[in-house]
Amino acid sequence: MTITAAADGSALGNPGPNGWAWYIDDARWAAGGSAHGTNNQGELRAVLELLRATAGADEALVIECDSRYVIDSVTKWMPGWKRRGWRKSDGGAVLNRDLLEGIDEAMRGRDVTFTWVKGHAGHPLNEAADERANAAARAYQKGEEPRTGPGFAGAEPEAPAPQPVAPLPPAPQFSAPLWAETTDLFSGFDEPEASAPAQLTVSLTAAEHARLRDRADAQGISLEEALRRLI
């Protein structure tokens, strides 16, 4: 698998309000900038931020750039600059050394290829990166925060919608008194003689037992008390 991304920079006034952006697809891109910088700084920053964002990926990385300066700096001139202590062939200091050193470090041990594309020529990834870099520069020009994008991980997945919870069934309501159905429970029993101690055995079906317990609970009394009241 290969990741193909575009990296681009923008500076209004060069130097001036500065923007950078890298773009893989609509779910994976990033942008930023500063209040003052050059176009080359924006181009290099875009490459550096892309390398940092994809540091944990195992795939090969192809970077599309419309800047010959960036591509030649990284692929042609950097080895000589490093040998000379970051000095050009004429002895002058290499510009943007901090960004170039960051790119050099971020590329170590990785499969990275640079491809030149012509800017503003309809290359989809380059156009998307250019649009976002320019928007970031204009945001800094206005003193606003730019859109920074979702980054390499992409937008976080939406949390699943909460599942509706079925309401609890209403508690049973009893308008009749507890002893209203005594005839259902004790039909067929003869009244004992008043002089003899009364001992009564009642056999209840499961439905009758549940009904009696519900009514006892509704009155806030024990099942035993419920039976005593019925008697």
For the chain, the domains span 2-141, 178-230
**What CATH number should be reported for the domain whose range is 2-141?**
3.30.420.10
Given a cut of 80, is residue 20 above it in pLDDT?
yes
Nearest 10 degrees: Cα torsion 91, 13, 32, 129: -90
Residue 185 pLDDT class (50, 70, 90 cuts): very low
Given a cut of 90, is residue 107 above it in pLDDT?
yes
Is residue 129 within 8 A of residue 74, CB to CB? The reply is no
Catalytically active residues are: 8-9, 43, 66, 120, 130
What pLDDT is stored for residue 229 in this prediction? 64
Max alpha carbon distance in the chain (Å)? 131
Given a cut of 70, is residue 219 above it in pLDDT?
no
Given a cut of 90, is residue 60 above it in pLDDT?
yes
Closest CA to 109 of 50, 61, 44, 75: 61
143's tokens? 């003193």
* DSSP of 46-71: HHHHHHHHTTT--SEEEEEES-HHHH
What pLDDT is stored for residue 29 in this prediction? 98
Span 62-96, pLDDT tens digits? 999 999 999 999 999 999 999 999 999 999 999 99
Mean pLDDT of the region 131-141 = 98
What pLDDT is stored for residue 164 in this prediction? 52
